[in-house]
Structure 1
């Protein structure tokens, strides 16, 4: 089981700027050597199922198990949506599964390598492997090349990318040219804190000036008024 927490502070000037731009705050998880899909997000305003970002934001990440699937159509970075081709299979790191010639996954076996998820692919088709969390939310998709017949390995990493950008749905593929991202390494059972400061730079730790609960409430009220005036 992997538990990580990322605390993100956004100082006032950038809180106003990002909300005025109608930008969302995104988080992606590295698998193998890339970030390809939006896993978690907080929007400029709250919507059902997704809270908005504020001065202090907490991403609680508990990964007990994963799911695997495949996309039956070619996909690449810059595509926004893609369609899963099979039925999601619950699996854990250290386990293996076989994708047979009919596109059906076998029950997972505990005969893999710690930290890896292995698919023995027997489906000779133009497909790309997908890693999902235990709720079925896309974490990563192979955007580089189709799966070959044989062994395909996915290795989830304890690295997370955060950035602000225009609207994208959860689980969609990350658009190219992500602006000013930060990559955060978070070990198991660890909390990392970062701040997006007034100058638009990511820095480690909490803001230089700590705010009381009353000051945070006053800040939120000022931000709300500023965003309304800019609308």
Structure 2
């Protein structure tokens, strides 16, 4: 692409040496130079690599969001509270849409959705491939609920189910905020940074709401 731009500029500069039509060629040359600059600034950035913070964030956050959506579906079908149902609906819609964007980025970057990199390796600054150890799983991501906690949520009903959902989701959101803030320290890629900031702002607001909902049920995060 750069060689083509160079050749085009060369032809224009050669033509500019002729008196006739010089002003037209000058104008065209300016436009070509401006287009080249815009390409190099905005369109010339390569896609993130497989071990990049952006790719790791997209993969891990897609998994993280998937669990939040699943828990929200569970409580939506169990709770009689309009507030809880509305909260669950908002989480389902927001995080399902964001998850679609993460997976879309990976496809756009020509990267796989799964990898042999250990979850959260990107956040510690590691950039090499490492086989996933036997102890590494999605639960190693901050805030993720364990299989036992998810099974308990499935069993409970009524207020008890609402309390456990809120406790798990507050912790889950805190982990999501931690991951998004970690990305902000490692990346300057516009679309990824914008998404990370949106996650931080949105999930912190929902943490405040869920903490209030817990208090109204006579519970706290640690109970």
User: What TM-score does the superposition give when structure 1 sets the normalisation length?
Assistant: 0.20
Which structure has the greater CA radius of gyration? 2
Give the structure with the larger helix fraction.
Answer: 2
Relative contact order higher in (CA < 8 Å, ≥ 6 apart): 1
Give the structure with the larger strand fraction.
Answer: 1
User: What TM-score does the superposition give when structure 2 sets the normalisation length?
Assistant: 0.20
